[in-house]
Structure 1
Amino acid sequence: MLGEITSENSETVSFYNVENLLLPVTGKERIRGGLKNWNLSRYSNKLHKIAHVFDIIKENKGNLPFIIGLGEIEGAKPLNELLALPPFNGDYGVVHYESMDERGVDVAMLYDKRRVEVLVSEPISFFFEIADNDPENYDTTRDVLFCKVKFKSKIINVFVLHLPSKRDMDVNKPKRSYILKEIKERIDILLKSEESVIVMGDFNENPDDENLAALVSSDFGRKLFNPFLELFRNKNYSTYHQRFGLLFDQIIMSDDFITGKSGLQFRSAEVFNDLKISNWDRKFRGRPFRTYAGTRYLGGYSDHFPVLVQFK
């Protein structure tokens, strides 16, 4: 028996789509990335809000996640300013690459520098042809971030992603399918080499969608495990669109985290929907307290809740 999980014998990994952490506008500019009147004061408030989320996680779980994936970040500057704040206090490092996303937002990985060593990292870029045989006419999307890290003498391969959005009758589904197929090929090579894998991010698909089912399927012995499928079936949601609850944010792992062969044994997964970061409006109670609703500034945290996985 593994016994009770406590802050002394547990470790946490998290992912958080922070909803447009963009640099503030300058000069006479009033709109940035679709955000109206996005100024220095609102930017600073956003940084402190995100830091406060992880302060709440630390208070709730007893420690900070040793690896944190983030989505919707504009460049390295906001990340460095975030990590200077409590509860990070300069103890966390960051891996980030500029992508060719049309909105200028990327993914990143934060890690506890005292316990995690980044061995290798790279952005995995994708280009989609728009016009036949025209190399100058292509569409881009956010990179997938890959990091090979060492944690407590164990090697873990981490993929952080934010797949193309669901919009306009889901025209981006073929792009998501293509990206996940490419990532799965890389993951299968790692699994066949008996390596540990964690895939985290905003998939813009629910855990029971066909692309996610294909990602965790396997034609050989080892495979991936998605604990967020059960959460979704039990109506746990990380974000909402109109009246629909969605669980686009997920952390998926290789099966050695189930057996404990990775050195970390999976115990639980959750949508971190703490009341302190939730909306208190009667109409939207229980949903994430977001920064913007359309063009209207609300001053909240994000339109997504963080997701967490705990290991023993």
Structure 2
Amino acid sequence: MELFSFYNVENLFLPDPKPMHRLDPTRSGLRSWDERRYKNKLFKISHVFQLMKEENGVLPLMIGLSEVSGRKVLEDLVELEPFNKNYGIVHYNSMDERKVDVALLYDKAKVEVIDSEAITFFFEIVDKNTENYDTTRDVLYSKVKYKGEIINVFIAHLPSKREKDINKPKRDFILNEIHTRILNLVESKEHVVLCGDFNENPDDENLIKILYGNNHEKILENPFQQLFSTRRYSTFHYSSGLLFDQIMLSESFFNDNTSLSFQNAEVFSSEKISSRDRKFEGRPFRTYAGTRYLGGYSDHFPVFVRFICKTQ
């Protein structure tokens, strides 16, 4: 068995330097984000994957991450158990205004990275007084090899839903671009994994549309549609359960002739990483609630898919 996982880790920043003045803004935007809290956060994130390993017998061969700020936090993370320096990193600094990026961790003993690219998006700001543009988080593309087979991995953290969802046109545009790239890869008979925090649920129009080609043929499967229909959620907004974190797979993973054959999908909502507060039972134990430090893991649960591993 092999696993592929995605996890929005909620603001993994390096510790803030001490401000010169108590009103100075911090780099992270987090209150009192110091060395102790940073190390606790790293331990918590690594512990999630230790728990995943204990439950499944293996660590994920690849892990997509979002809300990480810079490469150094990733280097510090893979030093810890259960990674123990055995995981490589694919990361690019994006032009996101909050300086948070997506990244790929991979088991160096199993996976070879052949190529990678940060897919950057610019959005024009319509303003008569200035020529300006807006940026968002990159989509990370990696071409990897596993047991002689090529896998194309896209990791996204799409613009958030806020202010009457003014970011929807940006999500539409990004997904259209990714869809075009996926179509080309599927036509070449290559495996594709599309994962991330899409800020949309599996039944939203964008995430249904991306599953189909131009002739309405199925090109991707989204096993998180079934999980969402049974009220399995990865994050929450007030009283609403959401499944924004998803992993979609090309039809080739459902073929008996491949080295990785899809088995099932899960939201990893272990009690050990869930809220200690009875009012929020069954929700992720988050690091911050607003400005209040809770000391938890993340405001999202990780998600993963299991593969049956076949010898070629």
Shorter-chain TM-score tier: over 0.9
- Provide the rounded CA distance (Å) in 2 between the counterparts of 1:128 and 1:30: 27
Query: In the alignment, is residue 160 of structure 1 matched against residue 151 of structure 2?
Result: no
Query: For residue 19 of structure 1, what is the aligned residue in structure 2?
Result: 10
**Superposition map of 1:1-312 within 5 A:** 10-28=1-19, 31-131=26-126, 136-220=131-215, 221=217, 223-312=219-308
Asked if structure 1 preserves the Cα contact closer than 8 Å seen for 2:3 and 2:62, the reply is yes
Deviation of residue 67 (structure 1)? 0.5
- Provide the rounded CA distance (Å) in 1 between the counterparts of 2:296 and 2:149: 37
Deviation of residue 23 (structure 1)? 1.2
Q: Give aligned-pair identity as a percent.
A: 60
Question: Structure 1's 128 and 284: CA in aligned 2 closer, same or farther, altered over 3 A?
Answer: same
Tell me the TM-score normalized by structure 2. 0.94
Structure 2 counterpart of 1:108, one-letter code: A
Question: Structure 1's 135 and 181: CA in aligned 2 closer, same or farther, altered over 3 A?
Answer: farther
Question: Structure 1's 171 and 93: CA in aligned 2 closer, same or farther, altered over 3 A?
Answer: same
Deviation of residue 133 (structure 1)? 8.5
Structure 2 counterpart of 1:27, one-letter code: K
- Provide the rounded CA distance (Å) in 1 between the counterparts of 2:190 and 2:129: 40
Deviation of residue 262 (structure 1)? 3.3
Asked if structure 2 preserves the Cα contact closer than 8 Å seen for 1:192 and 1:222, the reply is no
Tell me the TM-score normalized by structure 1. 0.94
Q: Kindly report the root-mean-square deviation, in angstroms, between the aligned alpha carbons of the 2 structures.
A: 1.4
- Provide the rounded CA distance (Å) in 2 between the counterparts of 1:134 and 1:12: 51
Gaps of 5+ in 2: none
| Alpha-carbon displacement from aligned partner over 1:201-257 (angstroms, at most 9, x marks no partner) | 000000000010111122345500000000000000000000000000000000111
- Provide the rounded CA distance (Å) in 1 between the counterparts of 2:83 and 2:130: 44
- Provide the rounded CA distance (Å) in 1 between the counterparts of 2:71 and 2:179: 28
Deviation of residue 280 (structure 1)? 2.3
Q: After superposing the two structures, state which structure 1 stretch, 19-28 or 88-97, moved more.
A: 19-28
| Alpha-carbon displacement from aligned partner over 1:174-208 (angstroms, at most 9, x marks no partner) | 10000000000000000011111000100000000
Asked if structure 2 preserves the Cα contact closer than 8 Å seen for 1:275 and 1:286, the reply is yes
- Provide the rounded CA distance (Å) in 2 between the counterparts of 1:222 and 1:111: 28
Asked if structure 2 preserves the Cα contact closer than 8 Å seen for 1:73 and 1:105, the reply is yes
| Alpha-carbon displacement from aligned partner over 1:45-67 (angstroms, at most 9, x marks no partner) | 00010000000001011000000
Gaps of 5+ in 1: 1-9
Asked if structure 2 preserves the Cα contact closer than 8 Å seen for 1:196 and 1:262, the reply is no
Query: For residue 5 of structure 1, what is the aligned residue in structure 2?
Result: none
Deviation of residue 263 (structure 1)? 1.9
| Alpha-carbon displacement from aligned partner over 1:134-160 (angstroms, at most 9, x marks no partner) | 884000000000000000111000000
- Provide the rounded CA distance (Å) in 1 between the counterparts of 2:144 and 2:225: 26
| Alpha-carbon displacement from aligned partner over 1:267-296 (angstroms, at most 9, x marks no partner) | 110000000000121100110000000000
Deviation of residue 35 (structure 1)? 1.0
Residues matched between the structures, number: 303
Question: Structure 1's 49 and 259: CA in aligned 2 closer, same or farther, altered over 3 A?
Answer: same
- Provide the rounded CA distance (Å) in 1 between the counterparts of 2:123 and 2:258: 36
Structure 1 counterpart of 2:116, one-letter code: S
Structure 2 counterpart of 1:285, one-letter code: E
- Provide the rounded CA distance (Å) in 2 between the counterparts of 1:244 and 1:37: 29
- Provide the rounded CA distance (Å) in 1 between the counterparts of 2:124 and 2:25: 33
